[in-house]
Amino acid sequence: MNTRDVVIFSGQRFQVPQCIQRIDHLSTHGWQLRYGGTKLYSDHSNDGSGAKRALALATKELLKRIATLPAPSRLRRTPSRKKQSDLPSGISGPIVRQRAGSRVRDCSFAVTLPRFGKTPLARSVYIGTENTYTIERYQEALARAVELREKAEEAYQRAATRARRAEALVLKTQFKDLLAAAR
């Protein structure tokens, strides 16, 4: 998990994990956790003396949330506003093409299958030729395409969560001394 160096208003330096932000505004001083919702961990001081303990509490809660919540996903769940069809996100079509040497055109859906940490796969779901195309075949192919996409999204989510939890274990050892201050 990424960390960054943060200098607070009092001049103290802290290594801060991703998903935790510093809030210093008028009478509010603390660390805001932004993972599975937000929560502010106040310094309970105006001079920043409680910043270390507040960061330790925020980091402890971050690790707890990572262990119990699925990782945030960057996958698009809804179609883009610019998409001109009513097909779900990641599915395009029907695509009509005539292959070399063929006398009839065929029709299919293009499905993008996301893979965590890798480039997405492109798959085609066959509907039929211009002689065999029917509404029923269209609907069956669309159902297969949606099922392929949903399975890929679930696998992506599982892999993202697994990776985030592995990062949290590294973070836990990296911040072992700080977490001891949270007790």
pLDDT score recorded for residue 182: 62
Confidence of residue 137 (pLDDT cuts 50, 70, 90): very high
Residue 60 host element (H or E): helix 51-68
* pLDDT for the residue 181: 63
pLDDT of 41 reads 92
Kind plus residue range of the DSSP H or E element containing 145? helix 135-174
Mean predicted confidence (pLDDT) in 160-165: 90
Distance in angstroms (rounded) separating the CA atoms of residues 93 and 38: 40
Mean local confidence (pLDDT), 83-91: 82
Asked if residue 160 has pLDDT above 80, the reply is yes
User: How far apart (Å, rounded) are the C-alpha atoms in residues 7 and 183?
Assistant: 24
**pLDDT digit string, tens, across residues 27-54:** 888 999 999 889 999 988 878 788 888 9
**Residue-level pLDDT at 34:** 92
